[in-house]
Amino acid sequence: MKTARKLIALLMALSMIMALAITANAQEASPNPKDTDNASITVSNASKGETYAAYKLFDATVTGTKDGSIAYQATAIPEGLGDYFEVDAKGNVLVKMPRLRMTK
């Protein structure tokens, strides 16, 4: 019985290692020469056959510092997203943590 448990544990560990070693490759889009700032989005650990979509929530400017920190600045948050984002006095976009409702 102990040998069977060890064998099952070994097989499960190997399957997890194999699953984590799989990488996703995406076709590179050719940059549009009309754009002055070509940005990109990379999806890590994507699942084969899945479709991923990106949605624009609001207009923001990304600023960074030498230490690697990033700040998002915006002038306004759309009406429907006020429960999730807010803009402080300096124009920084902050994420609100919605309160979870506990039901009995």
Q: What is the pLDDT of residue 41?
A: 78
Q: Inform me whether the pLDDT recorded for 100 exceeds 80.
A: no
Whole-number average pLDDT of the chain:
76
Q: What is the greatest pairwise CA distance in the chain?
A: 67
Q: What is the pLDDT of residues 4-36, one digit of tens each?
A: 888 888 888 888 887 777 766 665 655 555 555
* Separation of alpha carbons 83 and 95, rounded Å: 9
Residue 80 is classified by DSSP as: G
Whole-angstrom distance, CA of residue 102 vs CA of residue 21? 38
Tokens of 39: 């940005």
pTM for the whole structure: 0.41
Q: Is 11 helix (H, G, I), strand (E, B) or coil?
A: helix
What pLDDT score does 20 carry? 75
The CB-side HSE value for 51 (13 A sphere, CA atoms) comes to 1
Sorted by where each begins, the domain ranges of the chain are 56-99
